[in-house]
Amino acid sequence: MILYTGYPADFQFPPNIGDFGESAIGIVMLGSPIGIELPGGIGNWQKVIFFACYNSLRGTIPSEIGKMTSLDFLYFSDIRLSGTIPEQIGNLKKITQFQIYYTKISGVIPSSISTLTQIKELHFFPDESYPLTGDFPDVTTFTSARTISAGLNKFNGVFPRFNKTLPNLLTLILTNSFKQTSELPYILSESVSLNYLNVSMNALNGTLPNEFSKLTLLTFFGIGNNLLSGTIPTQYGRINLLQRLDISNNKLSGTVPTQFGVYFQLTELYMENNMLSGSLPVELLELNLRRFRANGNKFTGKLVFPVSVLELDLSSNLFSSTIPSIVGDAEDLTYLDLSNNL
């Protein structure tokens, strides 16, 4: 492994950096105050399998990077890095991890990305002022993928259809990137290994799919800030490993299923700003909730107050009961809003 950190402004890569001995090479670049440009000669770095750059680069990604055909891991994180992702990225057939974070890289993701069938982790989180655009790549070719994430982008079209199952997928994060209305694809329910699913802020409409009850390994389910309507499926009680659930800022109606009482590991529940009604299930009192927001709905009946709660917002509802005395037992309580009720 070769580590570069705090190098001077006149730094240059050794011309033979890609040919040190017989072993494979990993390069990590950290914290240059000025940043350097990647040389066109990186195409000669044939033995480099690991290349990670943290706050160390400026300029663009040269197309010659497509000649680094031994690469397994490629990571860029630097706000001074700009330009586009070169089409030649598609030549890196051995790559398993490709990550772009907080850069000024913008424009279209090349379609050749979809030919990288060995991908296990793929991340696109640029600086929010420099979103990636164009079509989101067909990720269903990544049958070995464990993590796919993208956020703060402006992709064309609707939320991806996922016309094939990704059997090894553990984490899917696609947030704030699609603005054309579309329904959440039911086929995601076949990726039964999923334990983290966040698809918030994507103009998703329609209803919550009953089929998602198959995702029994989920610990995080985020679908807030969309346009979803209908009711909360009672079948979701089968997802009993949930630790965080966010269905806030949609158009959901009906009651909260009593099946929520099986979420024994649930610590954060966000359902604010919907059109939910009826009484909150007393089963919620059995949970170890730390953050619970249900404000901006039409809930009636008695206030539900989990004694374990750290933050609780039940404001702007139709609760008519008095404040329960158990409030005094909530030793960890730091935020409480019960305003604008009857």
Note the pLDDT tens digit of each residue in 190-220: 999 999 999 999 999 999 999 999 999 999 9
What pLDDT does residue 30 have?
A: 85
Q: How many residues does the structure list for the chain?
A: 342
Residues 254-312: tens digit of each pLDDT: 999 999 988 999 999 999 999 999 999 999 988 999 999 999 999 999 998 899 999 99
pTM: 0.95
| HSE value, Cβ hemisphere, 13 Å, CA-based, for 62 | 14
Tokens of 134: 């164009």
Comparing C-alpha atoms, which of 37, 40, 47 is closest to residue 69? 47
What pLDDT does residue 215 have?
A: 97
What is the pLDDT confidence band of residue 4, given thresholds at 50, 70 and 90? low
Comparing C-alpha atoms, which of 79, 119, 70 is closest to residue 97? 119
What pLDDT does residue 312 have?
A: 96
Task: Give dist(CA 92, CA 108) in Å, integer.
Answer: 18
Please report the sign of the dihedral spanned by the C-alpha atoms of residue 164, residue 165, residue 171, residue 172: positive
Q: What is the average pLDDT score of the chain?
A: 92
Residue owning tokens 């670049």? 29
Torsion of CA 254, 237, 270, 265, to 10 degrees: 160
What pLDDT does residue 106 have?
A: 96
The letter for the amino acid at 166 is: L
Residues 83-97: tens digit of each pLDDT: 999 999 999 999 999
What pLDDT does residue 7 have?
A: 67
- DSSP track, 116-163: -TT-SEEEEE--TTS-EESPPP-GGG-TT-SEEEEES--BSSSSP---
Residues 146-171: tens digit of each pLDDT: 999 999 999 998 999 898 889 999 99
Comparing C-alpha atoms, which of 53, 48, 56 is closest to residue 28? 53
What pLDDT does residue 11 have?
A: 75
**Contact yes or no for 163/190 (Cβ under 8 A):** no
What pLDDT does residue 19 have?
A: 58
φ/ψ (deg, to 5) at 296: 70, 35
Q: Which residue has the higher pLDDT, 49 or 326?
A: 49
Does the pLDDT at position 172 exceed 90?
yes
What is the pLDDT confidence band of residue 44, given thresholds at 50, 70 and 90? confident
What is the pLDDT confidence band of residue 20, given thresholds at 50, 70 and 90? low
Which residues on adjacent β-strands are paired with residue 92? none
Residues 100-151: tens digit of each pLDDT: 999 999 999 999 999 999 999 999 999 999 999 999 999 999 999 999 999 9
